[in-house]
Amino acid sequence: MVSSYVYLLGLSQFLTSALSANTGRVCAPETFASLSLPSIDVLSIDAKLNNASFDVDDSTNAYPVATNKTVEVCQLTVNYTHLGWNDNVTTWISLPVDNWNGRFMGMGGGGWIMGTRGRLSQAVFGGYAAASTNGGHDEAATVKSWGLSSEGNVNWANMQDFSAVSLDDTASLGKAATKMFYGKPHKYAYWNGCSTGGRQGHMMAQRYPTQYDGILAGSPAINWDKFIPSEFWPQMLMNALDYYPSACELNAFTEHAIDECDALDGVKDRIISVPGLCKYNATSLVGKTVQCSSNSTVKITPKAAKYVTLVWAGPQDPSGSSLWYGLSHDATLTRLAGTNCTLPSKNCQPIPFQISADWQQIFLARNSSLDVADITYTEYIRHFRQSVNEYSSIIGTRDPDLTDFKQAGGKMIAWHGMKDPLIFFNGTENYYRQAMEIDPSIQDYYRFFAAPGADHCKGGIGFYPGSSLDSLVNWVENGTAPDTLRAIATPTGTDSAKLPLRTADLCAYPKFLTYVGGDASKASSFTCK
């Protein structure tokens, strides 16, 4: 009798601690005991009340919210494996105890990170129930630890999880948990992500078109099988040309290109808004002396100009045919053409962008001890073909036929910074043009916006459309399609405090932002043409 009483008392105290005083909803594993999918085996479900604090990260395009508050949520952690795959996937689900807005949101990741529990805070602060996934590997895990099942062998189950499958799982699990907790289903479902998160959004529209009513996809890492090898092009060129540039030299070419092409759009603002008109020739800098520091200079050589010209052109096969796009003239070159120098311009050693190096080493060579600095041009071209042949259908994320997404009634907004130094802007533009050719009425459900001067997902001196999610919600729920996206450019540099914020209304492709006269810091001075 005593033991029964103690058990009941403990159960009562447990339920009391897991029960919201305001809603009567129980945040406990028992509430979600039936949470599962036909294709998975649930290993564990943890559910507990938690105070979510905002994790500052503009790259997810989320609502701007106060950072000095917390939101009480029912925090779920679901661990599962796919039947027969021997993988181990984690999905996090955050359910606001109070002030749920009736909506569900899937949150994306960046780089090799599929998602994090911390990013869910950005959604729950807006009132959303939200979910994200680790895609089968932890945030801190090395790519070798999950990309290879053994030396020479790709872990295809983990690759499928990272590419697509866990995204579909997370949407289904998150929606089901939302209904279990609130006693009713969500009204609308949204996806929100940038970079890898932008690719994930396009993957949902292409492969799982009924999961989300609205998708926001910034700087999308689509065309993965082509653009990731292209990111390694600047590093391979260093070996091929036996030229290892300093940041000083590379920045000089970028600055001179901006000087040459800045005013082509009618405004001197250090932003190239019409890159197609920029015909800057890197050889014009040959022979000039560049100041690298107070006591260091470098003289620009023909080899330096050749290197930068090839980087801007993008990878080419032995016949001279283009394999993919290069960087924009105003994009920072040092992200992909990084080096480490003992002096500002002396004894430079290559430092590849890690994701591009991982792709060459783990998923193409399948040799975790490979020194990517030794990859020759011939090997690079072979790897490029291999990447397309083996991975386009898995993670390419470039199917332009969105018929099923259209028929499901979905809406998608994509935007891309035109000076993105990591993901080539022209690749996204090319994808959207292909989609327009397949369906001339594509703007009824999918719109793409170019952001002049914007960096990768955030930053840069250009226009960042931080309120895009509001535009998406208005389109999905009220039928108001966005012809423009309001964007803000924040001044940078030593005089930034004296300069005004600049606003502009980004244009739905194929129109581009065009200056028509007046105060260049005001949106009214621009139009779409």
Q: Name the residue type at position 439.
A: D
The second-level CATH assignment, the architecture, of 22-222+394-484 is 3-Layer(aba) Sandwich (3.40)
Q: Is the pLDDT of residue 19 over 70?
A: no
Q: Alpha-carbon distance 454 to 441, whole Å?
A: 28
Which pLDDT score is estimated for 142?
95
Q: Name the residue type at position 271.
A: I
Active site residue 420: yes
Q: Which residue of the set 399, 420, 455, 505 is catalytic?
A: 420
CB-facing half-sphere around the CA of 141: CA atoms within 13 A: 16
DSSP code per residue over 322-347: B-S----TTS-GGGTS-EE-SBTTBS
Over the chain, what is the mean pLDDT?
Answer: 91
> Cβ distance 492 to 498 under 8 Å?
no
The DSSP 8-state label assigned to residue 447 in this structure reads E
pLDDT band at 497 (very low <50, low <70, confident <90, very high): low
Q: Name the residue type at position 356.
A: S
Both tokens of residue 192? 């929100």
Q: Alpha-carbon distance 507 to 528, whole Å?
A: 6
Q: Is 193 helix (H, G, I), strand (E, B) or coil?
A: strand
> Cβ distance 514 to 523 under 8 Å?
no
Which pLDDT score is estimated for 55?
52
Measured at the CA of 328, the angle between CA 327 and CA 332, to 5 degrees, comes to 75
What residues are paired with 74 via a beta bridge? 49, 95
> Cβ distance 439 to 406 under 8 Å?
yes
Q: Alpha-carbon distance 30 to 487, whole Å?
A: 45
Least confident of 146-150, 237-241, 341-345, 395-399: 341-345
Active site residue 195: yes
Q: How far is CA 459 from CA 59, 455, 491, in A?
A: 9, 5, 10
Q: Which residue of the set 456, 468, 471, 505 is catalytic?
A: 456
The DSSP 8-state label assigned to residue 64 in this structure reads P
Stretch (H or E) spanning 304: helix 302-313
- For the chain, the distance separating the N- and C-terminal CA atoms, rounded to the nearest angstrom, is 81
Closest CA to 167 of 215, 127, 231, 228: 215
Which pLDDT score is estimated for 8?
39
Domain boundaries, the chain: 22-222+394-484, 228-391
Q: Alpha-carbon distance 42 to 166, whole Å?
A: 13
What residues are paired with 52 via a beta bridge? 71
Q: Which residue of the set 59, 195, 328, 525 is catalytic?
A: 195
- b/e map 240-265, b = 16+ CB within 10 Å: beeebbbbbbbbbbbebbbebbbeeb
> Cβ distance 189 to 105 under 8 Å?
yes
Q: Is the pLDDT of residue 94 over 90?
A: yes
Q: Alpha-carbon distance 480 to 147, whole Å?
A: 43
pLDDT tens for each residue of 352-397 = 999 999 999 999 999 999 999 999 999 999 999 999 999 999 999 9
Active site residue 202: no
Instruction: Read off the pTM.
Output: 0.93
